[in-house]
Amino acid sequence: MIDSCGRMRWKLPEPMRLALEEAEAARRRGEVPVGATVSDGEGRILASAGNRTLELKDPTAHAELLAIRAAASLIGSERLTGCDLYVTLEPCAMCAAAISFARIRRLYFGAEDEKMGAVDHGGRFFAQASCHHAPEVYGGIGGEAARKLLKDFFRERR
């Protein structure tokens, strides 16, 4: 798609669009605006979630973990082999470990996280010899919109 200025614009995949909607809903709840969606091998949405750490008083209630838990419950297996995860922010080490344990096929993320990210930054979890399963990783999908949500959220907090 070409925008009014003649620049190429790509249409976001539906799972990432939904993850961005979950991030926006998290922002409205006062949570850090991160959203995640799990889809199956056919592209059908299995689960989506936004951060709920404050609401649930649970430091592990990251969007990725909530979406992975819901998808695993739906299919009745701890393994999400053949499933893809779309998340608006580069996963942290905790979420990267869960992605590996769940055997997610592909990880698509939006904004990079230079402080807490563990995929392209920090410990680079999937590159470690101790990592038993590494998904295919694609960064920058919806990154501009995800970065804007995060920047606006933290600007409002200051």
Partnered with residue 146 across adjacent β-strands are: none
Per-residue pLDDT, 157 = 87
Residue percentage of the chain with pLDDT more than 90? 92
pLDDT band at 158 (very low <50, low <70, confident <90, very high): confident
Residue-by-residue DSSP string for 15-69: HHHHHHHHHHHHHHTTS---EEEEE-TTS-EEEEEE--HHHHT-TT--HHHHHHH
C-alpha–C-alpha distance, residues 75 and 103, integer Å: 14
Query: Which residues, in sequence order, are CB contacts of 29 under 8 Å at separation 6+?
Result: 50, 52, 54, 55
C-alpha–C-alpha distance, residues 50 and 23, integer Å: 5
Each residue of 33-56: pLDDT tens digit?
999 999 999 999 999 999 999 999
What integer is the mean pLDDT of 126-148? 97
C-alpha–C-alpha distance, residues 139 and 118, integer Å: 12
Per-residue pLDDT, 110 = 98
Question: Is 55 a known active-site residue?
Answer: no
pLDDT band at 11 (very low <50, low <70, confident <90, very high): confident
User: Which candidate in 14, 42, 55, 64 is catalytic?
Assistant: 64
Whole-number Cα distances in Å, 104 to 32, 38, 39, 45, 99: 24, 9, 10, 14, 6
Q: Mean of the per-residue pLDDT values for the chain? A: 94
